Structure 1
Amino acid sequence: MTIGDPYTRDAAVFGRSVAVPLRCAPVAYEAGDPALERFRRNWLVSGIGEAGQARLAASRVLVVGAGGLGSPVLLYLTAAGVGTIGICDSDVVDTSNLQRQLLHGEADVGIPKPDSAVRHLSGLNSMVHFERFGHVTREWLDEHGHEWDLIVECTDSFDAKYLVADYCADSGVPLVWGTVVRMAYQVSVFWSAAPAPVPALTLRSLHPVQPPPGATPASPEVGVLGPVVGQAGTTMATEAIKVLVGFGEPLIGRVLMVDAATQRTDVLTFAPWE
């Protein structure tokens, strides 16, 4: 039985919360369903409830990048009970990844990251359906991107970040975005097809021009601290869950900026809601 959910296929706005439309209708939990106990601490959170947990189970989320940011995103979306997760990454696990990419271990070195990720994530939650993909191109996104309710961009290159973000801008698929280097990170949420009064935004609303090579510091040259990557990825997973369920205040029109070296946190509003 599907839930009487008026915003399954159409976005709904609740104050400062927004629920993205889902391609699959949520199915109500029956009394005694073991999943209710498993996810009890999820749906007890104000604003989620059993209906919100059912929305997570019906959700399809594409995570682009299974490395530093992707590791906590994938772990927490899997643990939270997102029904279908796509994993895009063309890299193999390298020893240098293990300092921050906690989804992988020493035994995974040399293995494609989507394969390593699915092996570990399946042991965490066997109820989740995983789909594995390699290198993401604009052509692939044009063909398959519409199959997902939400995209979470977790790569470490500006080329990939702007490729995915520009696709989301053109297609209207909501995007959770983050970037991290050294001890600092930024996280935001963009949705070019957001319903009023939610501001319709893209990555280029915040950062209009892709930085040229060498214009900004990169982690291979200046480093990145593992726990800081974890903080950024965990925040991105939280934002994803908020817009899938439709509770809290997502970072749409705002960007979270954190300097972990001083633990200074700022939230910059660049496009206020009407």
Structure 2
Amino acid sequence: MTIGDPYSRDGAVRGRAVALPLLTQPVPFEAGDPALERYRRNWLVSGLGEAGQARLAAARVLVVGAGGLGSPVLLYLTAAGVGTIGICDSDVVEVSNLQRQLLHGEADVGVAKPDSAVRHLSALNSSVRFERFGHVTREWLEEHGREWDLIVECTDSFDAKYLVADYCAQSGVPLVWGTVVSMQLQVSVFWSHAPAPVPRLTLRSLHPVQPAPGTTPSSPEVGVLGPVVGQAGTAMATEAIKVLAGFGEPLIGRVLMVDAATQRADVLTFAPWE
């Protein structure tokens, strides 16, 4: 499959790049549009271009979790000019969050995270539209999940991660996923309804069984270093921008694994479990 019209609504593959289908038809920028200057360092990147920037402006991205991973994801997607960003989180900002959740400040303690996030993000880019939501359930996703071009999963619990990933596997909504504990992180991209030759994979292709409580280390027990969360979230934002704009080689069928203690990074391929 080739990409053809850069403003197509359909998913397409060009080389190793993947362009997700968008719910809203991108509109080409007109000459002299101030946005072209604002995002100049974006669209000058090889493969992105003005067409890719127009795709970002048309995109609708749901970010589940506005904490450690969600902070860099939300900041970079907002700065990049993603048109509409949904923010799901039922927590309020706590003092213990501030070590790694750089989207929030001391004045936000006690404030709902979506409200704190929107206040800061709107100051960064007033042209982005934000939608705020609370706790995400399977029922909520069944009703609203297909309203988004892409879901970015940024929670810190296995229950939430598998809930969102299983919904994306069933519905076909593409998913950018990441996890981090202590000094280790993993990032990947899943798209269960991807067009050939893109592999149709899900979180359960990589981690088939949700870990039972207490069987794996957790951040409340072993900690998590703030900058490592930033590494993971920044990588997730990069993957989201790549598949929305349709350039680069996304981590579909591959997982980025980093041990920040030694700064060793590996990208491993995986296939569905038999």
TM-score by length of 2: 0.97
- The answer as to whether partners of 2:78 and 2:125 remain within 8 angstroms in 1 is yes
CA distance in 1, matches of 2:218, 2:94: 18
Q: Which amino acid aligns with 1:203?
A: L
Would you say 1:142 and 2:135 are equivalent positions? Answer: no
Partner residue, 1:253: 253
Instruction: Give the alignment of 1:1-274 within 5 angstroms.
Output: 5=5, 8-271=8-271
Q: Secondary structure at the match of 1:90?
A: coil
CA distance in 2, matches of 1:243, 1:250: 7
Shift of 1:64: 0.1
CA distance in 1, matches of 2:113, 2:44: 34
- The answer as to whether partners of 2:178 and 2:186 remain within 8 angstroms in 1 is yes
- The answer as to whether partners of 1:7 and 1:21 remain within 8 angstroms in 2 is no
Cα RMSD between the aligned structures?
A: 1.1
Deviations 1:247-267 (A, max 9, x none): 100000000000000000011
Deviations 1:41-97 (A, max 9, x none): 000000011110000000000000000000000000000000000000000000000
Shift of 1:7: 6.0
Change (3 A) 1:243 1:122: same
- The answer as to whether partners of 1:8 and 1:24 remain within 8 angstroms in 2 is no
CA distance in 2, matches of 1:20, 1:120: 28
Shift of 1:202: 0.4
Deviations 1:213-269 (A, max 9, x none): 011000001000000000000000000000001110000000000000000001111
Structure 2 segments unaligned to the other structure (5+ residues): none
Equivalences, count: 269
Shift of 1:8: 3.0
- The answer as to whether partners of 1:7 and 1:19 remain within 8 angstroms in 2 is no
CA distance in 2, matches of 1:127, 1:263: 37
Q: Which amino acid aligns with 1:166?
A: D
TM-score by length of 1: 0.97
Q: Secondary structure at the match of 2:29?
A: coil
Q: Secondary structure at the match of 1:177?
A: strand
Q: Secondary structure at the match of 2:213?
A: coil
CA distance in 2, matches of 1:30, 1:11: 24
Shift of 1:10: 1.3
Shift of 1:9: 2.3
